[in-house]
Amino acid sequence: MDLQLRDRRILITGASRGLGYAVAQVLAEEGARVVINARHADSLQAAAERLRATTRAEVHTVVGDVSQAQGAVQVVRAAQDALGGLDGLVTNAGGPPPGRFEDFDDAAWYQAFDLAFLFHVRLIRAALPALRASTLGSVVAITSISAKQPIPNLILSNTMRAAAVALIKSLALELGPEGLRFNAVLPGWTRTERVTELLAYRARQKGTTVEEELAAQAQDSPLGRMGEPPELGRAVAFLLSPAASYLTGVLLPVEGGSYKGLC
């Protein structure tokens, strides 16, 4: 299937590694013109060089912290300047630290609010004029399956991810009449650097090893394995693309069947 993404102008945040990088890789392979963002210049530039080498696509970089109000606005503006506008936006960032309810004070909750929820708001708000100017304006938010099925010891993430999918569903209803589409992907356990960090925390709590926790988590999926980042990347690319032109308000689990709910 042709996803009709060639020459589409797309910003992906949190894209120097993990899921964000995988999304950028798929979009670049499809011929999109992409801007990737991350906080650290060195790792971001290295990611861009890998993408250019493997896809020969047009890849720009914008350094900035999207969990900060001005950082989000500046990243969107720089992306628009680099590409001459925006047709698509992928909102992605790191997650809050693991822990239980009583581990966190107000400051930790406010920080999680910025990092895992409000950054979606800020990026989308800043990008809306450009997306309205496009005939193909589309947003995909990367959240987590924890929005539907809370994960133990991730209370900050569970709470903020649920708020993020409510935002996306609301925007799909509110801005659909303008032709703008808003969707979210809810990845399950996918083999990324962050997942390794989370399982290392779990191993310390249980007195096991990271390798044992990786093996145990893989068995939670009916497919008997964890996801790979490109599998999530392909789902995002489809939802973002004109090939999915009648899909909006979708909250798509990408978790290998481990989610136990019916809806």
Instruction: Tell me the pLDDT tens digit for each residue of 21-48.
Output: 999 999 999 999 999 999 999 999 999 9
pLDDT at 92: 98
| pLDDT value, residue 77 | 98
In angstroms, what CA-CA distances link 114 with 103, 121, 123, 163, 230? Answer: 18, 10, 12, 12, 27
For residues 222 and 225, give the distance between their C-alpha atoms in angstroms, rounded to a whole number.
8
| Residues 133-180: tens digit of each pLDDT | 999 999 999 999 999 999 999 999 999 999 999 999 999 999 999 999
Mean confidence (pLDDT) of the chain: 95
Asked if pLDDT for residue 1 goes beyond 90, the answer is no
**How many other CB atoms are there within 10 angstroms of residue 221's CB atom?**
17
Question: Domain map of the chain by residue range?
Answer: 9-188+229-253, 190-226
* Cα R_g (the chain), whole angstroms: 18
Rounded Cα gap, residues 23 and 232, in angstroms: 7
Q: What is the CATH number of domain 9-188+229-253?
A: 3.40.50.720
Q: Are 57 and 32 in contact (CB under 8 A)?
A: yes
The pLDDT value recorded for residue 200 is 83
pLDDT at 101: 97
**Residue 242 pLDDT > 90:** yes
pLDDT tens digits, residue range 173-205?
999 999 999 999 999 989 888 888 888 888 898
Residue 130: both structure tokens together: 């450009």
Q: Which of 188, 242, 246 is nearest to 217 (CA)?
A: 188
| pLDDT in the model for residue 61 | 98
How confident is residue 211, by pLDDT bands cut at 50, 70 and 90? confident
pLDDT at 42: 97
Helix/strand/coil for 139: strand
For the residues 81-109, what does the mean pLDDT come to? 96
Yes or no: say if 87 and 10 are a contact pair by the CB < 8 Å rule. yes
